[in-house]
Structure 1
Amino acid sequence: MKIRVERDVLADAVQWVARSLPNRPSVPILAGMRLEAAGNEVVLSSFDYETSAKVTLPADVSEEGTVLVSGRLLADIARSLPAKPVDMEADSTKMELTCGSARFTLQLLPVAEYPELPTMPEATGTITPDAFAQAVSQVVVAAGRDELLPVFTGVRLEIEGDTLSLLATDRYRMALKELPWRPASGRAEGAALVPARVLAESSKSMTAGESVTLSLSSSDGGDGLIGFAGEGANGVRETTTRLLDGEFPKVRHLMSVQPSVTVRANTSEVVAAVRRVALVAERNTSLRMMIADDHITLEAATGDQAQAVEAVEATVVDETGQGLAMTAAGFNPHYLLDALNALDTPYVNFAFTAPGKPCLLTPLLELDGEASDDYKHVIMLMRLPQ
């Protein structure tokens, strides 16, 4: 193999593929990155039997061939190279990489022992990259991170015609985003539980093109695979991952809140206040929101050592007409900040039902406008001391 490729193009591609390399590979060969040069392009790929990543780059190919090298080492080298074209030449045992006056020699791994990448399933539909990336970012904040409970570390994708829904929960909060997309067939239906980490990385890295293609394997296929394909900054990117096993909890009904009290406020003002007040919040204790007729007051404390109080102007509505049914609510401050930062509107609507019951946050474009129903974020309230 003998190729020349632009330094920035190579570095970007290698970094992206290397993110899918396992930290502790079950077998040493999985630490490798596969390079295949043919025609006028080179394909870089990795696979750990769960997730695959592949990027196709333009290159000047003098000699075609396929090699396998240490992925993380190549990533470190590519990141440090000077801004000059990169020449890569390999024989049967080693690859020599030259960039300007810098030269590296890498031992090759046995490419014949490397597993074949899974085949991308048939395309299920396409979606606008920016809309997809934003939707994923709004939902993954509610996904769990405890690998001992894998079903909560995923995002459930639900396909119903021209609507794509994303749903995640870690049992203490949940987020739902519904957005339009273009199904490959008019009657497209399906559901998949996708690892949140893979979904987040894929959506953020495929925003350079006009669309992202989602490919979901048939439920009858038994392989439980989903793939994403789209344009990256410097080439075409494809990734596949095996779906998570287990039944996702039925939490959609918790999104249907009939509020007794609603609070509307400026999102950025609430975010700034929560950040300041949370500085003194003791670990595993709540940030208290006191609800008054025309404002909310945020309070937190670390025993007798430090206290913080800040008021934020708000529009408070008694939905029952019988006086405020709730005058205080306890939030996990980190969960509250995650939810507020996931909103993409100037204002936020809090819908409260009763003390200890879930609180629903929805985005508002205008303070007196209708709350959006395409994004919903529910937080389980914490018990307040008497």
Structure 2
Amino acid sequence: MKITIEQDALAAAVTYAARSLPSRPPAPVLAGLLLAAEDGQLRVSGFDYERSADTAAAATVTAPGRALVSGRLLADIVAAVKGDVRLELDGTRLLLRAGSARFTLPTLPLEEYPALPQPDDPSGTLPGPLFAEAVAQIATAVSRDDSLPALTGIGLRIDSSERTLTLFATDRYRYAVRILDFKDLSPDLPLAPALIPGKALLDAAKAAAADSTVDVALPGQTNGILSLTSDHAATTIRALEGELPAYEKLFPTEFPYEATVETAVLKSAVARVALVVDKKSPIRLSFTDNALVLEAGSGDDAQAVDNVHSELKGGELQIAFNPTFLIEGLDALGSEYVRFQFTNATKPAVLSGAGADPRALRYMLMPVRLTN
């Protein structure tokens, strides 16, 4: 193998593929990135049995070939050099030259490297930026507790009659749902929802954010792999076992109370009031005709009170929320005004952007029961 490639193109390809590298590889070869040079391009691939990343960049290929080298080391080197990069395989070593710098990297045994999963036929197509935005919103509600693996996933479900893809996630304290139009639907669609590791899907969606479109292939009956494919890159992620609670049964459908508040103003007030309590202690929200009063702390402890303007429909209501969960929900909505919909003070509230499309993000938040 002997090639010349622009530094920025190589850095982008290595960074993309390195997303799939495990922090603790189960086998030494899985810490490597596979470099394959042929037909005027360099393909860079990574795989850890759970997810793979494969991308290509234009290169001047003098001699085709393949090499497997330490991914982390290659990423660090490529980020530090300038100018065109020349790669040449010399026996069991890869020579890397850029400007006045020269590196000699030992290669890993190619014969021990597993074959990458092949992307399946796409279930449908989405705009890359829209898909990345939706996954980031839904990831807000993904659990960080690895003891319940299913709750660390993001659910994906196709509705062929509506031609939509629904994304959903919950950590038991909040539930996030968003619906996207799904174009170019395959006639042979999976019937059951897929559950995909949230962090891996978020990383892959971020990488696809610059692509005009991304083909999404949900796991089929015999293939437990999600595939995301764009013009120059492909990612596969192995699905989780299990399923999430059905959001259709959990989201309230009737709301006697509804309030609208300016998002940025509310977020600032929540952050100020929450300064006097720890991250898990609730803050109280009292909705009245024209004002929302926020309170935190009690007794001999530090206390805080603030208020913001709100518009209320229905009677007055007092409810309490975890301030971190509330702020994260407001951030995820990304709207100028937030609409709160309530059943009562002890039932989940539903947050959405005021005036937003019904398919936009809905964020259901469990209240905290007050002891006094």
Q: Quickly say closer, same or farther: Cα 1:38–1:187, change in 2 above 3 A.
A: closer
* 2:212 aligned residue (210, 213, 216): 210
Structure 2 match to 1:149: 148
Contact 1:122–1:217 under 8 Å retained in 2: no
The Cα offsets for residues 76-117 of structure 1, whole Å up to 9 and x where unpaired, read as 1111112x0111111221011111011111001101110000
Structure 1 match to 2:125: 126
Q: 1:73 is paired with a residue of what secondary structure?
A: helix
Structure 2 match to 1:169: 170
TM-score, scaled relative to structure 2: 0.95
Structural mapping, 1:1-386, within 5 Å: 1-82=1-82, 84-161=83-160, 162-185=163-186, 188=189, 190=191, 191-219=193-221, 221=222, 223-231=223-231, 236-301=232-297, 304=300, 306-318=302-314, 323-324=315-316, 326=317, 328-365=318-355, 372-386=358-372
Q: Identity percentage over the alignment?
A: 39
The Cα offsets for residues 174-223 of structure 1, whole Å up to 9 and x where unpaired, read as 0000111213335745321111112111111113332110012321x1x3
- How far, CA to CA, are the matches of 2:357 and 2:32 in structure 1? 49
State the Cα distance separating 1:278 from its structure 2 match: 1.9
> Which consecutive unaligned segments of at least 5 residues does structure 2 have?
none
Q: Quickly say closer, same or farther: Cα 1:23–1:273, change in 2 above 3 A.
A: same
- How far, CA to CA, are the matches of 1:21 and 1:116 in structure 2? 15
State the Cα distance separating 1:47 from its structure 2 match: 0.7
Contact 1:33–1:46 under 8 Å retained in 2: yes
Q: Quickly say closer, same or farther: Cα 1:18–1:189, change in 2 above 3 A.
A: closer
State the Cα distance separating 1:66 from its structure 2 match: 0.4
State the Cα distance separating 1:237 from its structure 2 match: 1.5
- How far, CA to CA, are the matches of 1:350 and 1:331 in structure 2? 12
Q: 2:303 is paired with a residue of what secondary structure?
A: strand
**Residue type matched to 2:3 in 1?**
I
Single out whichever of 202-211 and 165-174 deviates more from structure 2: 202-211
Q: 2:320 is paired with a residue of what secondary structure?
A: strand
- How far, CA to CA, are the matches of 1:115 and 1:9 in structure 2? 26
The Cα offsets for residues 33-73 of structure 1, whole Å up to 9 and x where unpaired, read as 10000010011001111100111111111110000000111
- How far, CA to CA, are the matches of 2:187 and 2:291 in structure 1? 48
- How far, CA to CA, are the matches of 2:60 and 2:145 in structure 1? 45
State the Cα distance separating 1:243 from its structure 2 match: 0.6
Contact 1:362–1:373 under 8 Å retained in 2: no
Q: 2:186 is paired with a residue of what secondary structure?
A: coil
Q: 1:88 is paired with a residue of what secondary structure?
A: strand
State the Cα distance separating 1:346 from its structure 2 match: 1.3
**Where do 4+ consecutive residues of structure 1 move more than 6 Å?**
none
The Cα offsets for residues 313-352 of structure 1, whole Å up to 9 and x where unpaired, read as 000111xxxx43x2x1111111101110111321111111
- How far, CA to CA, are the matches of 1:90 and 1:373 in structure 2? 52
TM-score, scaled relative to structure 1: 0.91
Q: 1:185 is paired with a residue of what secondary structure?
A: coil
**Residue type matched to 1:11 in 2?**
A
State the Cα distance separating 1:364 from its structure 2 match: 1.2
Q: Quickly say closer, same or farther: Cα 1:95–1:159, change in 2 above 3 A.
A: same
Contact 1:95–1:105 under 8 Å retained in 2: yes
- How far, CA to CA, are the matches of 1:193 and 1:343 in structure 2? 22
Contact 2:284–2:321 under 8 Å retained in 1: yes
**Residue type matched to 2:261 in 1?**
A
Contact 1:7–1:86 under 8 Å retained in 2: yes
Q: 1:171 is paired with a residue of what secondary structure?
A: coil
- CA RMSD in angstroms comes to 1.7
